[in-house]
Structure 1
Amino acid sequence: MTRLEQFRTRLNQLRGAIALSPLMLTVLTIAFVLVADNGTFWSIGTQIFSGHLLSFAGYMLAVFFLTLALFSLFAFPWTVKPFLIFIVLLSAVTSYYVDALGVIIDRDMIQNVMVTTMAESRHLITVGFAAHVLIYGVLPALVVACVQLEPRGPVRTAVMPVLTCVVSLALAAGLMMADLKSYASILRERKDFMSSYQPGAPLVGAIRYARMVSRSTKIDVASIGTDAHKGPAYDHPAKPMLTIVVAGETARAQNFSLNGYGVDTNPELEKLPIINFTNAHSCGTATAVSLPCMFSKYTRDDYSYEKGISTENVLDVLAHAGLNVAWWDNNTGDKGNARRIDMRSFTNEQDPRFCDAGECIDGVFLDALKAYADSITEDTVLVLHQMGSHGPTYYLRYPPEFARFAPACNTAEFKSCTPEEITNAYDNTIAYTDHILAQTINLLNAHDRLATSLIYMSDHGESLGESGLYLHGSPYFMAPEQQTHVPMVLWMSDAYKDRFGIDETCVADQKDKLLSHDNLFHSLLGMLDIQTAEHKPDLDIFAGCKLKTQVAANE
């Protein structure tokens, strides 16, 4: 007998020794996943139920039986193994990010994953991730595949899954009713608890995402601001106008020295006549949500994915008014913002100074921007979507000469780095963003033949280990301030202020005012003197800051 034949014989013997019914295999798999892939879930539960062991046990049994009720519907001989293998692999993948980085896998996170690029996602596939998935996913999946299913008669095969579902639901309900008041309070107050349950949270998130997408497959985009027209500032322009809107990436306000941070991350902007808004906040905690929201007419409370993709944004309104509008992208795409305007991607540029392995740092914009500004002959708005501080590979977001804060974390494996190293690497990205913004402002200021301005606002912030959280994408209801408090900076040339009649002192008086992405749509319209019924002065930071001559002209 050959070695291959011996292996097959032993494998068949092993399979014969491990013969289980589909329902028993389902029960054991759920138990494994509950124990092996739910470190965060157990940790939060232990904290919540501290000193109430019996109540904790009842709750966990209820979760077990509820999961069994749902999974038992797949406990047929022809479906049980593929389904359980999928569950084991899914739980291994999601549990790594939940337990290692504090990420919550909800609908918005799944949306973010679905629109990401290979260049971005590959940084999340680390040695630690691969080892975790191998141990907790691949090997258990092989065990499930090798289990031999006990033969059952057709009636029992058809009835048992349904009966198990009904009985399990009854047991789960009974256990919850035993202490309903306490359990209901926990579910209401501690949404992070069930949000960390694997594989329940990602499955629910996937279903919600699929429903959201299915509702928007046949949506027609509604035009807005078709009445938009240029105000008096365009009647007798001495110079063409160029406004650059910089959509930052993953920059948090807490790490801007402009906002009082103890590390000098903004040495170049501090020397420029900018207005730094210290109290600005994001619409979401991930690019897929925040980027379309910040350019939409909807406030955070009113915004939804369906509304965002079915309604034109402020860039369309500016185009309706006759401005030349363009989008340059060095990230994972425009998220629908630039569908109706000129768009250029910089992610695949071949410039060896700034680009490596399918990604570019933001310095790639500068030479192109200089040439673009030299060629402008009409009033123009240009959006620059940065790569910024996108993690976890912060060390890839800046050139070697900007590794100012050391030692820095030079890996995507945060567990291999100290908190200081992670923060140093992130601070280096902020310092590089400071450099890019300052260089852009200097470039604009040098163009005497243009009336120029720049407004910068990040899409969301970032967690650097506070409360065990890393990266971003937490559900907004539980997101820490580090993920929602974002930097916002404004610069205007003298020619720009003169042409648009802007009282810079008045605008600067609002630097500590509570602002958010809600203000961007209306402030761009006010700043650029674009008149439309879509404009809401109460959300426009320039509304009360036009000089008397400009106000009179508008009247």
Structure 2
Amino acid sequence: MTRHLPVLTRSAPISPLWVLAACSLWMAGPGNWVLWRKLAQLGLLQGLGGAAFAVALGVMLAAALAALMALLAWRLTLKPAATLLLVATAAGSHFMGSYGVVIDPGMMRNVIETDLHEARALVDVRLLLALGLLAGLPAWWLWRQPIAPRRFGRALWQNAATVGAALLVLVAAGLASFQPLASSMRNHKDLRYLFNPLNSVYAVAREVGLPRANAATPIEPLGADAQVASAAPASRAPILVLVLGETGRSGNFGLNGYARDTTPELARESVVSFRNAWACGTSTAVSVPCMFSGLGREQFKPDAAQRAEGLLDVLQHAGLAVLWLDNQSGCKGVCDRVPHAATCPQGDCLDDVMLAGLDERLAALDPARRARGTVIVMHQIGSHGPAYHLRSGPAQKRFMPECTAASLTACSREAIVNAYDNSIAATDHALALTIGWLKARGDAPTAMVYVADHGESLGENNLFLHGMPYAIAPEVQKRVPWVTWMSPAWQRESGVDLACLASRRDEAVTHDSYFHSVLGLMGVHTRVYQRTLDAYAPCRAEGVASARAPG
């Protein structure tokens, strides 16, 4: 009797349409667990009506994904495209589920501009687990399946028919659930940002895939008429330090009435803190260009701002010396045309590193410009999360225990707040050192203005980090600290009364005022300056050193 060894055979080739359907259902179902959890928390899945709504919404998601994948269902692109969408689904579900963020064009801009040091802090076991379960397993299945070959003509009409059929199903399911769907989207606007991975596809297309009509246009000049008073002796030229904070919550500053004394060193200085300051955006990629554009939040458009000069250009037009120091992942384009330097190329330095060698950096600037005045911008790492514990040194770790885990959800809220508050204490120390450096300039009029780019969520309502769409972002992501210090010489020559500023500290001020306030402080005369948006103008004495103050 002849015995035959078993023969291992590959499974029969399957139609690309079955692959498309399987991947779409997987992403619409398990891949959207954050959406389904949110709907359940809102009570939208209760009863038969809720179940019908869930089915209709699931069908709509699967149909939309099927239509998208049908456009890519070709022999050489199907598996790579499906794998990429699976990875996007897994990553999106992890970050939305773990940190409560949503994925929109602004958040995608943050992702694109995130450097290796920042990205490293977000990698943890939970992310790897999400990638393995939601992307790795289906991708492993996908790449093991032989795909039935199709001639080009057959593939073309099948793909086109699939797109059309998927869109018809999408419309039919939408009409069948129109009333609950419209009501849910109207009352809970954040739901539209949870459709995974359609949110990522749209955001990527919006940020990097769509042609930009103004990409080839020259940089639009701004404030070319800018002028300042004549040059002064080197020892009397004004120096203004603009400290651009990162992820600063106004409510966590002791200066602003926080129960914890997170800013003891600043409290010993004659500073004024605006307690009701509001950001232009909820992410660095939006707020920083907006602050320096002079456009204001309502008129600001990221693409347009990239093709126009900003605050630092106006200061240079006025003949002032400008220097940008970066302890972050870049200046988002606002320092491209001025002298700039990275102070911590290896990453994870505390912000006082920007003072190291500062005198030598200033000496290298044009002496003719320095004689008119110098503006130094220090872009902090500040309280950049989620690794808040890396943003403070041993001397600032006053609140313990602090969260040291890569995933904030692995820590208690107390430990998260402790780590964050320690980072504010480190910012307090860095600002005090900066004031000390300015005091050492002798009789020169010197000043420092610290303003954070945006705030942060520390677990309130299960939200973490920042970057929520402005319309639905919580107050803690939009309210920022704004602290001012001026030397006696600066106060005399500028005519700004600190007591007056202190009396206005609870009045609302926004990033819209930043551009004009800096021009006012440096006495820059230009048509683009608006006195009504200068936060210091109401406290500038008329006729006092008017040569340095725009009219």
Fold match (TM-score > 0.5): yes
Report if the CA contact (8 A) 1:406-1:424 is conserved.
Answer: yes
**1:366-385 residue pairs with structure 2 within 5 A?**
366-369=355-358, 378=371, 379-385=373-379
Q: 1:361 aligns with which of 342, 345, 350?
A: 350
- 179-188 vs 246-255, which moves further: 179-188
Structure 1 residue 167 displacement after superposition: 1.9
Residue 407 (structure 1) aligned with residue 407 (structure 2): no
Structure 1 residue 256 displacement after superposition: 1.0
Structure 1 residue 505 displacement after superposition: 2.4
1:184-228 CA-to-partner distances (Å, cap 9, x unmatched) read 233334231121121110001011112566334213111111111
Q: 1:332 aligns with which of 326, 329, 333?
A: 329
Query: Alignment identity in percent?
Result: 35
Report if the CA contact (8 A) 2:326-2:379 is conserved.
Answer: yes
Residue 459 (structure 1) aligned with residue 456 (structure 2): no
1:20-73 CA-to-partner distances (Å, cap 9, x unmatched) read 321111111111122222222112222252433223322322222222222223
User: Aligned with 2:322: secondary structure?
Assistant: strand
Q: 1:427 aligns with which of 418, 421, 427?
A: 421
Q: 2:65 aligns with which of 57, 67, 73?
A: 67
Residue 125 (structure 1) aligned with residue 123 (structure 2): yes
Report if the CA contact (8 A) 2:15-2:147 is conserved.
Answer: yes
Structure 1 residue 155 displacement after superposition: 5.8
**1:433-448 residue pairs with structure 2 within 5 A?**
433-448=427-442
Report if the CA contact (8 A) 2:28-2:61 is conserved.
Answer: no
Partners of 1:327 and 1:152 lie apart in 2 by: 58
Q: 2:319 aligns with which of 318, 322, 325?
A: 322
Residue 272 (structure 1) aligned with residue 269 (structure 2): yes
Report if the CA contact (8 A) 1:285-1:475 is conserved.
Answer: yes
1:352 maps to which residue? none
Residue segments in structure 2 that go unaligned for 5+ positions in a row? none
Residue 523 (structure 1) aligned with residue 520 (structure 2): no
1:53-94 CA-to-partner distances (Å, cap 9, x unmatched) read 223322322222222222223334443222211211221122
2:237 maps to which residue? 240
Report if the CA contact (8 A) 1:94-1:105 is conserved.
Answer: yes
Report if the CA contact (8 A) 2:236-2:443 is conserved.
Answer: yes
Report if the CA contact (8 A) 1:85-1:145 is conserved.
Answer: no
RMSD: 2.4
Partners of 2:333 and 2:186 lie apart in 1 by: 34
Report if the CA contact (8 A) 1:285-1:483 is conserved.
Answer: yes
TM-score (norm 2): 0.91
Report if the CA contact (8 A) 1:265-1:434 is conserved.
Answer: yes
Q: 2:307 aligns with which of 305, 310, 314?
A: 310
Give the AA of the match of 2:204. A
2:114 maps to which residue? 116
2:21 maps to which residue? 27
User: Aligned with 1:283: secondary structure?
Assistant: coil
Residue 16 (structure 1) aligned with residue 5 (structure 2): no
User: Aligned with 2:471: secondary structure?
Assistant: helix
Report if the CA contact (8 A) 1:395-1:411 is conserved.
Answer: no
CA distance 1:271–1:411, shift in 2 (3 Å): same
Residue 220 (structure 1) aligned with residue 184 (structure 2): no
Structure 1 residue 385 displacement after superposition: 0.4
1:105 maps to which residue? 103
1:205 maps to which residue? 203
Residue 541 (structure 1) aligned with residue 535 (structure 2): yes
User: Aligned with 1:67: secondary structure?
Assistant: helix
Residue 281 (structure 1) aligned with residue 275 (structure 2): no
Residue segments in structure 1 that go unaligned for 5+ positions in a row? 1-5, 349-356
User: Aligned with 1:547: secondary structure?
Assistant: coil
CA distance 1:374–1:210, shift in 2 (3 Å): closer
CA distance 1:535–1:186, shift in 2 (3 Å): same
1:231-279 CA-to-partner distances (Å, cap 9, x unmatched) read 58x6899822110000001111121122222221111111211110001
1:138-162 CA-to-partner distances (Å, cap 9, x unmatched) read 2321110001224567665433322
TM-score (norm 1): 0.91
Partners of 2:216 and 2:502 lie apart in 1 by: 44
User: Aligned with 1:347: secondary structure?
Assistant: coil
Partners of 2:189 and 2:528 lie apart in 1 by: 36
What is the total number of aligned residue pairs between the two structures?
536
Q: 1:507 aligns with which of 479, 501, 511?
A: 501
1:253 maps to which residue? 250
Report if the CA contact (8 A) 2:27-2:62 is conserved.
Answer: no
1:485 maps to which residue? 479
Report if the CA contact (8 A) 2:443-2:489 is conserved.
Answer: no
1:351 maps to which residue? none
Partners of 2:31 and 2:21 lie apart in 1 by: 15
Report if the CA contact (8 A) 1:237-1:499 is conserved.
Answer: no
